[in-house]
Chain A
Amino acid sequence: MIRIGVPSKGRLMENTFDWFRARGLAMQRSGAERAYAGQISGSDDAELVMLSAAEMPRELAAGRVHLAVTGSDLVREGLADWADQVRQVAALGFGHADLVIAVPMVWVDVETLDDLDAVAAQFRRIHGHRLRIATKYHRLTHGFLRDQGVADYQLVDSQGATEGSVKNQTAEAIADITSSGDTLRDNHLKVLADGLILRSEATLFASCHPMLAGDQAALAAFVARHGLGG
Chain B
Amino acid sequence: MTAQPDTATIRATAQRLQGAMLAAGAVSVEADILQPAELLLDLYGEDIRARAYVTHDPLRGELMLRPDFTVPVVQAHMNGGADPARYTYLGEVFRKQEHRARGQERPSEYLQLGYEVFDRANPAAADAEVFALFADLLASLPLRAATGDINILMAAVQGLTTSDKRRAALLRHIWRPKRFRALLDRFGGRQAASAARTAMLAAFATTPAAALIAGVGGFVGIRSDAEIAARVAALLDDAALPPIAGEQVVMLDQILALQAASPMALAALRGLAAVMPALTPALDQMEQRLDALAQRGVDVAALAFEAAYGRTTLEYYDGFVFGFYAGGRPDLPAIASGGRYDALTRVLGRGRSIPAVGGVIRPALVAALQGGGA
A14 within 8 A of B: no
Output the least CB separation between A60 and chain B (Å).
Answer: 16
Q: In the complex, which range does the number of interface residues on chain B fall in?
A: 35 or more
A194 to B182 CA separation, bound complex (whole angstroms): 14
A123 to B196 CA separation, bound complex (whole angstroms): 21
Within 8 A of B (CB), among A143-166: 145-155, 166
Within 8 A of A (CB), among B206-221: 209, 212-213, 216-221
What's the count of A-B pairs with C-beta under 8 Å?
Answer: 124
* A130 with B45, Cβ < 8 A, contacts A81-B99, A108-B203, A108-B209 known: yes
The reply to whether A149 and B220 form a contact with Cβ atoms under 8 Å apart is: no
A106 to B214 CA separation, bound complex (whole angstroms): 8
Number of A positions contacting B (CB below 8 A)? 44
Contact with B along A80-116 (1 / 0, CB 8 A): 1100100000000000000000001111110110110
A107 to B177 CA separation, bound complex (whole angstroms): 27
The main secondary structure of chain B at its interface with chain A is helix
Output the least CB separation between B69 and chain A (Å).
Answer: 24
B197 within 8 A of A: yes
Q: Which residue of B lies closest to A185 (CB)?
A: B218
Output the least CB separation between B172 and chain A (Å).
Answer: 6
Contact with B along A34-61 (1 / 0, CB 8 A): 0000000000000000000000000000
Across-interface contacts of A169 in B (CB, < 8 A): 221-222
* A152 with B45, Cβ < 8 A, contacts A80-B100, A107-B228, A111-B196 known: yes
The reply to whether B49 and A142 form a contact with Cβ atoms under 8 Å apart is: yes
* A104 with B209, Cβ < 8 A, contacts A153-B46, A154-B41 known: no
Interface centre among B41, B49, B98, B196 (most CB of A within 10 A): B196
The reply to whether A166 and B220 form a contact with Cβ atoms under 8 Å apart is: yes
The reply to whether A109 and B235 form a contact with Cβ atoms under 8 Å apart is: yes
* A111 with B197, Cβ < 8 A, contacts A80-B99, A104-B220, A151-B173 known: yes
A147 to B46 CA separation, bound complex (whole angstroms): 12
A28 within 8 A of B: no
Across-interface contacts of B183 in A (CB, < 8 A): 114
A150 to B45 CA separation, bound complex (whole angstroms): 10
B316 within 8 A of A: no
B313 within 8 A of A: no
Across-interface contacts of B222 in A (CB, < 8 A): 127, 169, 172
The reply to whether A107 and B223 form a contact with Cβ atoms under 8 Å apart is: yes
A187 to B217 CA separation, bound complex (whole angstroms): 11
A147 to B218 CA separation, bound complex (whole angstroms): 32
The reply to whether B172 and A106 form a contact with Cβ atoms under 8 Å apart is: no
Out of B42, B209, B216, B223, which one reaches A105, CB within 8 Å? B216
B179 within 8 A of A: yes
A167 to B218 CA separation, bound complex (whole angstroms): 9
The reply to whether A111 and B200 form a contact with Cβ atoms under 8 Å apart is: yes
Across-interface contacts of A146 in B (CB, < 8 A): 46-47, 50
11 residue pairs A–B, Cβ–Cβ below 8 Å: A106-B225, A107-B221, A112-B194, A114-B186, A114-B194, A122-B230, A130-B45, A149-B177, A149-B182, A166-B220, A188-B220
B residues engaging A (CB < 8 A)?
41-42, 45-47, 49-50, 98-100, 169, 172-173, 176-180, 182-183, 186, 194-197, 199-200, 203, 209, 212-213, 216-223, 225, 227-228, 230-232, 235
Q: Which 7 A-B pairs have the closest CB atoms?
A: A149-B179, A149-B176, A111-B196, A188-B218, A193-B196, A108-B212, A109-B231
